[in-house]
Amino acid sequence: MRTVETRTGATLPVLGQGTWEMGARRRERQRDIAALQLGFDLGLTLVDTAEMYADGGAEEVVAEASRGRRDRLFLVTKVLPSNASRRGTMAAAEASLRRLQTDWIDLYLLHWEGSHPLEDTLEAFALLQRQGKIRHYGVSNFDMDWMRAVEAVPEGAGVAVNQVFYNLHRRGIERNLLPWCVERGIAIMAYTPLDQGRLVRKRALVQVAQRHGVSPAQIAIAWTLRLPGVVTIVKSATTEYVRENAAAADMVLGAEDLRELDDAFPCPDHDVPLETV
């Protein structure tokens, strides 16, 4: 698995697994665990979760899937903005550590901007880092104004990642945010690369996929990985799709492929607000 290194020294696999909605339904718990574990076996050792997902249930699923494998994994979780005061961040991290059944979190993110001062959240992140409870920290769903605010905060230089909504159909970050982050060594972590399944039915994507003998989903994932400094997370709870996702990390799209996809899904010709899910 290729990797991306951030300005803080974090080394992230370029493709990882998401956990949105995992842990929400008990009858699906073993299926979710099996899917994550297969992904680990196939090299998808980065797993992204959050205290918000299923009210902590997703973190508990990750804990079960990670049993006996923790040292080989890169665990990412997030604190809710409503919890992101200095004291609240510390308490939220401790709760996530308990649910994840681990001594450390590899990457801890502020889920989106909120009302608590950014300085307080990042100070708490830095303290958790000094205590060895997190290895690296970052943000999620931050547009340019908020990223500039991050850089103005003393602990802002420690921000390693900005996790954002990015796929063929949502290319607004390419105008400013993506190059700004990559230039500074801040990795972009793209979520929802299939645009919640809408992309896989698009004609241009199907045509490129047929030429390569792969699925449209694999092309959509591979496209997000074409640029340096970008990591992608994709969620799947079925073994068939986990295998497809893992194979996408090794795909290389040619100039003709990229030209066709650019024509079908052009980058906006004007600045647009950061989109979220």
- Identify any residues that bridge with 159 across adjacent strands, giving them in sequence order: 137
What pLDDT does residue 211 have?
95
Mean pLDDT of the chain: 96
What is the residue extent of each domain of the chain? 10-199+230-238
Query: Has residue 16 got a pLDDT over 90?
Result: yes
Angle ∠(240,245,250) on CA atoms, nearest 5: 130
What is 10-199+230-238's CATH topology? TIM Barrel (3.20.20)
CA distances to 107, 156, 162, 249 from 7, rounded to whole Å, are: 13, 12, 12, 23
Q: What's the maximum distance between 2 C-alpha atoms anywhere in the chain? A: 54
Q: Give the single-character DSSP code of 225.
A: T
**pLDDT over 90 for what percent of the chain?**
96
Q: Band of the pLDDT at 237, cuts 50, 70, 90? A: confident
Three-class SS state of 3: strand
pLDDT tens for 68-89 read 999 999 999 999 999 999 999 9
pLDDT tens for 242-251 read 999 999 999 9
Give me the helix-helix angle, 255-264 and 203-212, nearest 10°.
Answer: 170
Q: pTM for the full model?
A: 0.96
Contact status, residue 255 vs residue 49, Cβ threshold 8 Å: no
Catalytic center residues: 53
Query: Has residue 187 got a pLDDT over 90?
Result: yes
